[in-house]
Amino acid sequence: MDRLASFTNDPFDKPPCRGCSSYLTEPYIKCAECGPSPFLLCLQCFTRGFEYKKHQSDHKYEIMTSDFPVLEPGWTAQEEMALLEAVMDCGFGNWQDVAYQMRSKTKEECESHYMKNFINNPLFSSTLLSLRKTKDYRYAEGAIPFKPSDDPPRPTFDSVLSRDMAGYMPARADFMEEFDNYAEWDLKDIDFVDDDSDILHALKLAVVDIYHSRLKERQRRKKIIRDHGLINLRKFQLLERCYPKEVQELYDAMRRFARVVGPTEHDKFIESHARAKVYERVKRMREDERRKRTMLCDVLQYIQDGRACQQWLRGTRSRRSAPPLNLTGLPGTEKLNEREKELCQVVRLVPGAYLEYKQALLNECRRQGGLRLAQARALIKIDVNKTRKIYDFLIKEGHITKA
């Protein structure tokens, strides 16, 4: 004899006794040899030796009861199922209503038992980890986090904020009206019985398959909302307005593709296109600098007269100095403090190059225990005047020391 859990706590949800057609109450008998549909008998019919068609009174049997502990003493299997059903009906965290529906436990006992055995239980944690590897796990139920706030607002029903959040209920991680909200209506009257013909049975299975596909589509849409933080549409739109106008237009144009990639990949895609113009501007500046250096090398290459060369150099120094470099939008600007930004503007050095030269000088100073100007000039191959200004600045700020 085995002690097995019953179907549910409600006797009306169990199949009736095959002998007297009365509703079954625990304990009751299940034939271990008849099948595939369960052959169930109440204790009265079982003691009378009830036989029907292929079922004989000498068949092996199982006693169906849930009056035994499963996870810890003091909680029977029937109470475990009642707790799970109450949490499903009332929502996680609503322990007052859960205890009221169970009637045999207080809200503190319900919360403590549920958290201990179903949330913080290592056995169930490992089981959930293995479930993540299955194909359909991505459609599992889950709370939709509210972004970018850790504590979502709880608006009153039918308020302006509630409508902006599409009727989302943060405490239940659910919507007032789901996508395909009446999908369950096509399934509520279906009942599988032994007398169904093969065609009718196949038709009912097809209806169930269709219902599953509609549930998967509902979960897919929830996943997109969850991953992209779209519950509070107004706040999401305010975040979009922080971008320049051309980036906002790009967001509007590419919004439909967000569903096929993750939120991080989508943002990277948008920002990479937005930074393309910055890249082109920096590229033109770099080509201009390279052209100027090439022109200077060509001029000095053909000057043979030292005095004329000195006069030409003095004339270039007496010319009006170039305006400060505009750092707006240049990569690496956010990593600089105000004094470093001023230095880059004066010496007309892009932030990325300055950070690279700074790190090289810092590494060499730590390795040598100090650094001389000549070593700095040998280390970074740029204009000697720029090198001196960078070297003096790092000495003044205390980043490096003289050898």
Kindly indicate the confidence band of residue 164, based on its pLDDT and cuts at 50, 70 and 90: low
| Average per-residue pLDDT for the chain | 76
102 occurs within a structural domain: yes
pLDDT at 134: 46
- 3-state SS of 331-347? CCHHHCCHHHHHHHHHH
Is 50 a member of any domain?
no
Q: Where are the alpha helices (DSSP H) in 165-275?
A: 198-228, 233-240, 245-254, 263-274
Q: What is the pTM of this model?
A: 0.32
* Residues 351 and 304 both lie in one domain: no
Most confident region among 11-15, 96-100, 263-267 by mean pLDDT: 96-100
Give domain status of residue 379, yes or no.
yes
**Are 354 and 289 contained in the same domain?**
no
Same domain? For 353 and 384 the reply is yes
User: Final residue of a domain: which of 119, 146, 179?
Assistant: 119
Domain that holds residue 380: 333-397
- Same domain for 294 and 356, yes or no, is no
The candidate with the shortest Cα–Cα distance to 216, out of 147, 145, 135, 143, is 135
Q: pLDDT value at position 348?
A: 85
Domain termination site, one of 316, 341, 367:
316
Residue 227 lies in a domain: no
**Domain match, 287 and 342 both:** no
* 384 pLDDT above the threshold of 50: yes
Looking at the structure of the chain, the number of domains it has is 3
Give domain status of residue 83, yes or no: yes
Same-domain pairing of 300 and 346: no
According to the model, what pLDDT value does residue 7 have? Answer: 41
Domain presence at residue 105: yes
- Regarding whether 357 and 388 lie in a shared domain, the answer is yes
pLDDT in tens, 264-307: 787 777 777 777 777 888 888 888 888 777 766 656 554 555 65
Q: Residues 222-270: pLDDT tens digits?
A: 877 777 777 766 666 676 677 777 777 777 777 777 777 777 787 777 7
* Same-domain status, 290 and 349: no
286 and 346 fall within a common domain: no
CATH code for the domain of 374: 1.10.10.10
Please indicate, yes or no, if residue 260 is contained in any of the structural domains: yes
Q: Which residues, other chains included, contact 152 with Cβ-Cβ below 8 Å and sequence gap of 6+?
A: 146, 170, 231, 232
> Which residue, of 119, 147, 182, is where some domain finishes?
119
Residue 106 resides in a domain: yes
Q: State the CATH number of the domain containing residue 86.
A: 1.10.10.60
141 pLDDT band (50/70/90 cuts)? very low
Distances (CA, A) of 143 to 92, 119, 138, 247, 382: 11, 14, 13, 31, 56
